C-alpha cells in the first residue's frame, strides 16, 4: 500500500439526462496508481475518461466507490496544493505576463513575496522560458503557452499532476517536445502523473501503465504496463508494436 499514491476503489458514476433517466458512465472502476509513476487513461469517446480524472481531482463526486489518496479517503483534498490539473486549453489569463500567469498557481499558498518570486522564476527556467517572464500570452507560440501552463501547474510543487489531453491542440513536433518536458520534469520533481489521451502513441511514449476503459459504462478493460526505458522513440519497432496492440484493444 505504501507505494500506491491513489487507489480508485469500485468507482461508479451516473449522470442525470435532461431528457430523463440516468446515463451510466463508469462502472466499478478499480485502479491503483503507483507513486512517482505515469499513468495514461485511454478508451473510446464517451467511455468516461475525463469524468474519471475529474473524480480523482475531487471536481466530480462518484455515486459509488471511493478514491483513497495516500491512504486517506478523499475529502477537501482536491484543493490541496499537492495536486494540480492541466486542462486541454492552456487557460492563460491574457492580461497577465507569463510570470504572472505562473504566479497564479501559488496564489492560494501562504508564501512570502520573495519565495513566490523565487519559485516563479525557477519554474519558468525549468520549462526553458526564463527569458520570456515578462511576455504576454498573445506574444507566445502555442508550444510556449503550453509550457507556461505546465509551469503554472508545477510551481506549487505538486506531488500529483493530472492532465486532460493537454497537448492535443499542439502540432506534432511541439507535442513531442512537451512529452520530453513532462518526462524530464516528472523525474526531476518526483511527481505522479495521471493523464487522459485519445492519442495511443502519446500514452505509449509517456506512461508506465496504460488503463484501457471499455465503452460506456467505462470499466477497466485492461491495464497495460509499458516497460520500455525513457526516452522512447515513437518510430521504434517495439513502440509501433505496442501502439498497434493497444489500438486493437480499444
Ligand atoms: N456533467 C455532465 N452531465 C451529464 N452528462 C455528462 C456530464 N459530463 C459528462 N457527461 C457524459 O458522460 C459521458 C462520458 O463523458 P466523458 O467526457 O467522461 O468521456 P470521455 O471518455 O472523456 O470522452 P471524450 O473522449 O469524447 O472526451 C458522455 O456521454 C458525456 O456526455
Residue 178: phi and psi, rounded to 5, are: -65, -35
> What is residue 127's predicted lDDT score, i.e. its pLDDT?
86
Ligand 1 centre and the CA of 103: distance in Å?
31
Q: Which CATH architecture has domain 4-81+159-249?
A: 3-Layer(aba) Sandwich (3.40)
How much is the pLDDT for 140?
A: 94
Q: How many residues comprise the chain? A: 250
Is the distance from the beta carbon of residue 51 to the nearest atom of ligand 1 less than 6 Å?
Answer: yes
pLDDT in tens, 187-214: 888 899 999 999 999 999 999 999 999 9
Looking at the predicted complex, does its ipTM rise above 0.95? yes
What pTM does this model have?
0.91
List b or e across 51-78, with b for residues whose CB sees 16 or more CB atoms inside 10 angstroms: bbbbbbbbebebeebebbbeeeebeebb
DSSP codes joined into one string, 22-51: EEEEEEEEEEEEETT-EEEEEESTTSSHHH
Domain range list for the chain: 4-81+159-249, 91-157
Q: Whose CA is nearest to atom 26 of ligand 1?
A: 45
14 CB near ligand 1 (under 6 Å) = no
Helix (H) or strand (E) holding 144: helix 142-154
CA-proximal residue: ligand 1, atom 18 (nearest): 48
pLDDT tens for the 250 residues of the chain, in order: 458 889 999 999 999 988 888 999 999 999 999 999 999 999 999 999 999 999 999 999 999 999 988 766 555 544 443 889 998 888 999 999 999 999 999 988 888 999 999 999 999 998 889 999 999 999 999 889 988 999 999 898 899 999 999 888 778 888 888 888 889 888 888 899 999 999 999 999 999 999 999 998 999 999 999 999 998 988 899 999 999 988 888 8
For position 226, what pLDDT does the model report?
Answer: 93
Residue-wise pLDDT tens digits, 136-172: 999 999 889 988 999 999 898 899 999 999 888 778 8
For strand 209-213 and strand 38-43, is the pairing parallel, antiparallel, or unpaired?
A: parallel
Cell numbers of 60, please? Answer: 466530480
Under 8 Å CB-to-CB from 158, ≥6 apart: which residues? 81, 82, 83, 84, 191
Q: Is the CB of 47 under 6 A from ligand 1?
A: yes
Q: How far is the CA of 124 from the centre of ligand 1 (A)?
A: 34
CA of 24 to the centre of ligand 1 (A): 10
Cα angle: 85, vertex 17, 163; to 5 degrees? 10
Paired residues of 22 in beta bridges = 16
Q: Which atom, in ligand 1's list, is nearest to the CA of 48? A: 18
Pocket flag, ligand 1, residue 136 (CB < 6 Å): no
Q: How far is ligand 1, taken at its centre, from the CA of residue 203, in Å?
A: 20
Q: Which residue from 49, 87, 194, 250 has its CB within 8 A of the most atoms of ligand 1, so it is best to mutate?
A: 49
Amino acid at each position: 500500500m505504501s507505494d500506491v499514491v491513489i487507489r480508485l476503489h469500485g468507482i461508479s458514476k451516473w449522470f442525470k439526462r435532461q431528457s430523463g433517466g440516468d446515463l451510466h458512465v463508469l462502472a466499478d472502476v478499480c485502479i491503483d496508481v503507483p507513486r512517482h509513476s505515469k499513468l495514461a487513461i485511454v478508451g473510446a469517446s464517451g467511455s468516461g475518461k475525463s469524468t474519471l480524472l475529474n473524480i480523482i481531482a475531487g471536481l466530480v463526486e462518484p455515486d459509488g466507490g471511493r478514491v483513497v489518496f495516500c491512504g486517506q479517503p478523499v475529502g477537501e483534498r482536491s484543493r490541496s496544493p499537492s495536486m494540480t490539473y492541466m486542462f486541454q486549453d492552456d487557460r492563460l489569463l491574457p492580461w497577465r505576463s507569463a510570470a504572472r500567469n505562473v504566479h497564479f498557481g501559488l496564489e492560494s499558498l501562504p508564501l512570502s513575496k520573495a519565495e513566490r518570486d523565487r519559485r516563479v522564476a525557477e519554474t519558468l527556467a525549468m520549462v526553458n522560458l526564463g527569458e520570456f517572464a515578462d511576455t504576454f500570452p498573445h506574444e507566445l507560440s502555442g508550444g510556449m503557452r503550453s509550457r507556461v501552463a505546465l509551469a503554472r501547474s508545477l510551481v506549487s510543487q505538486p506531488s500529483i499532476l493530472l492532465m486532460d489531453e493537454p497537448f492535443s491542440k499542439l502540432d506534432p513536433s511541439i507535442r513531442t517536445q512537451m512529452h520530453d518536458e513532462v518526462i524530464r520534469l516528472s523525474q526531476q520533481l518526483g511527481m505522479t502523473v495521471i493523464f487522459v489521451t485519445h492519442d495511443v502513441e502519446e500514452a505509449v511514449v509517456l506512461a508506465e501503465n496504460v488503463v484501457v476503459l471499455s465503452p460506456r459504462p467505462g470499466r477497466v478493460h485492461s491495464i497495460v504496463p509499458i516497460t520500455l526505458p525513457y526516452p522512447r522513440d515513437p518510430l521504434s519497432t517495439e513502440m509501433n508494436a505496442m501502439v498497434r496492440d493497444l489500438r486493437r484493444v480499444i
